[in-house]
């Protein structure tokens, strides 16, 4: 590296956010860009370790360890330090189809496996990545890359989320005729409607979609395969079919009062909110409005946090976030060693904003929801909860109830952010695809082939709910697998 002692000289710095009081006034992105001199210093912290775990991209203890895309992180860190930004973009572009997405929404497993992170704060990899691609767009280095010749093969990609877009990009650049089918009215899937605008501005998504269209990828929106067009017909019309339909069936909480008005799945809330924002800046009122209401979010993770941030921006009267698990430790536990993803207590943007507005972190840990409560009109008014003790397992359960801990929390709206249980089964049923025990479309990682020849499964519909970076990795790699399959077909 150009600065062998950089990791000893410079402290970790991350991108600064607008203050919570400022950013809750709008739905614009809340992170500011670091200055170039600071970013060069951060690149200099990369310590030329003998084995750079940051780009290994494996799974340890069921969590990502290192970058699933195998980004050449030490190389572009060094190039940033040397002020060679065009070369840094060239190296980043070798592995990552959409760095502007991962640079904004990825939890950065690369940083969790950074060798410097063994005993110091890790290198600011995510901020550096984001600046490389943002500067590349600013400088005009990101241009369409249409194929020089056509293969004559036709491929349909179902689903325009990160996996589908990455696969479509790779297949088109290999010369194939690619059509992407999306049931929503806009392209992007999770990137467009599942992630709020303040984390990922939709103009950034559309910019990349426009680039793919300029390369020759065709997009068909508002068409649900299996309903508006049969999966069998789609397969018959193409040489290969790639399913990237995501894991969209939400996990429910089937307790008394579930049918009360005011209990919603988190994605119902987030999707409607973004659609209304994009269509009318909320003037159409076609969204679940939490203004002036007591909001309870059940479940943590990114989705729960996004519900918090969205509710604060709409002026909710109160905000509580319930998690049944215990509060994570402040530092790595003994059973969570490096280079595993550090399972530690974090404060994300939504937690920070709720604390600034209401005076305290909204999260309550070790809480089980027992029932939703309502009035005579069928409207939600509260929820009954109790504390649980994870140190005392009960028969058939990993925890026990804390005696005398039951209480009622006021609630006008509840958003369920409990995760997802698999893809919609319609396409699989029509094509006769084999599902795994979790209800996902069965296909091996690295092969992506289903039990039906010419049909491939990638992303969350294959692996289950996961990270955007894993979806992009699978879509990228699947393009090469489909290419090999197409090369075996007789014209």
pLDDT of 490 strictly over 80: no
Q: Is the pLDDT of residue 231 over 80?
A: yes
CATH class of the domain at 154-248+421-487: alpha beta
Distances (CA, A) of 421 to 10, 16, 113, 415: 44, 36, 28, 17
**Max CA separation in the chain (angstroms):** 73
The pLDDT of residue 6:
92
> What are the sequence ranges of the domains in the chain?
6-139, 154-248+421-487, 263-416
Give pLDDT, residue 491. 65
- Do domains 6-139 and 263-416 share one topology? The answer is no
| Residues 6 or more apart in contact with residue 187 via CB below 8 angstroms | 160, 165, 180, 205, 206, 209, 219, 221
Write the pLDDT tens digit of every residue in 146-173: 999 999 999 999 999 999 999 999 999 9
What percentage of residues in the chain have a pLDDT greater than 70?
Answer: 99
pLDDT tens digits for 444-479?
Answer: 999 999 999 999 999 999 999 999 999 999 999 999
CATH-assigned architecture of domain 263-416: 3-Layer(bba) Sandwich (3.50)
Backbone angles phi, psi at 111, to 5 degrees: -70, -30
- Give the pLDDT score at 15: 87
pLDDT confidence band for 402 (50 / 70 / 90): very high
Residues 424-428 have a mean pLDDT of 96
Rounded average pLDDT over 193-215: 98
Query: Which of 295, 287, 303, 306 is closest to 262 using CA atoms?
Result: 295
- State the pTM of this model: 0.96
For 99, counting Cβ atoms within 10 Å of its Cβ (0-12 exposed, 13-18 middle, 19+ buried), the class is: buried
Q: What is the pLDDT of residues 261-273, one digit of tens each?
A: 999 999 999 999 9
Domain 6-139 belongs in CATH node 1.10.287.130:
no
């Amino acid at each position: 590296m150009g600065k062998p002692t950089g990791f000893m000289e410079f402290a970790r710095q991350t991108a600064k956010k607008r203050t919570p009081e400022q950013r809750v006034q709008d739905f614009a992105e809340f992170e500011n860009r670091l200055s170039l001199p600071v970013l060069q210093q951060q690149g200099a912290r990369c310590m030329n370790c003998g084995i750079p775990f940051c780009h290994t991209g494996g799974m340890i203890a069921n969590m990502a360890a290192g970058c699933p895309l195998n980004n050449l992180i030490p190389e572009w860190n060094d190039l940033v330090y040397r002020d060679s930004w065009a070369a840094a973009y060239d190296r980043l572009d070798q592995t990552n189809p959409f760095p502007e997405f991962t640079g904004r929404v990825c939890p950065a497993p690369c940083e969790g496996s950074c060798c410097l992170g063994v005993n110091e704060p890790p290198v600011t990899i995510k901020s550096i990545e984001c600046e490389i691609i943002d500067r590349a767009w600013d400088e005009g280095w990101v241009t369409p890359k249409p194929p020089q010749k056509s293969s004559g093969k036709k491929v349909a990609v179902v689903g325009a989320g990160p996996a589908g877009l990455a696969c479509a990009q790779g297949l088109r650049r290999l010369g194939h005729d690619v059509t992407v089918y999306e049931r929503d009215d806009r392209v992007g899937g999770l990137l467009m409607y599942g992630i709020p605008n303040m984390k990922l501005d939709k103009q950034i998504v559309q910019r990349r979609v426009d680039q793919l269209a300029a390369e020759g990828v065709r997009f068909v929106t508002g068409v649900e395969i299996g309903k508006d067009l049969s999966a069998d017909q789609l397969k018959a019309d193409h040489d290969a079919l790639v399913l990237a339909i995501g894991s969209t069936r939400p996990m429910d909480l089937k307790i008394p009062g579930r049918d009360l008005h005011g209990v919603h799945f988190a994605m119902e809330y987030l999707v409607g909110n973004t659609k209304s924002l994009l269509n009318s800046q909320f003037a159409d009122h076609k969204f679940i409005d939490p203004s002036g209401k007591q909001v309870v979010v059940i479940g943590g993770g990114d989705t729960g946090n996004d519900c918090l941030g969205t509710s604060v921006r709409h002026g909710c009267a109160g905000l509580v976030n319930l998690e049944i698990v215990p509060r994570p430790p402040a530092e790595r536990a003994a059973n969570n060693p490096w280079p595993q993803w550090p399972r530690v207590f974090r404060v994300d943007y939504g937690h920070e904003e709720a604390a600034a507005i209401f005076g305290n972190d909204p999260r309550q840990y070790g809480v089980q929801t027992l029932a939703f409560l309502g009035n005579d009109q069928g409207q939600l008014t509260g929820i009954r909860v109790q504390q649980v003790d994870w140190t005392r397992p009960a028969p058939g359960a990993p925890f026990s109830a804390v005696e005398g801990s039951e209480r009622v929390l006021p609630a006008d709206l509840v958003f369920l952010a409990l995760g997802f249980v698999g893809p919609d089964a319609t396409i699989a049923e029509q094509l006769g695809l084999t599902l795994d025990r979790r209800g996902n479309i069965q296909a091996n990682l690295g092969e992506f082939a289903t039990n039906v020849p010419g049909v491939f499964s990638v992303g969350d519909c294959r692996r289950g709910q996961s990270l955007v970076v894993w979806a992009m990795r699978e879509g990228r790699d699947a393009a090469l697998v489909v290419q090999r399959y197409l090369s075996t077909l007789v014209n």
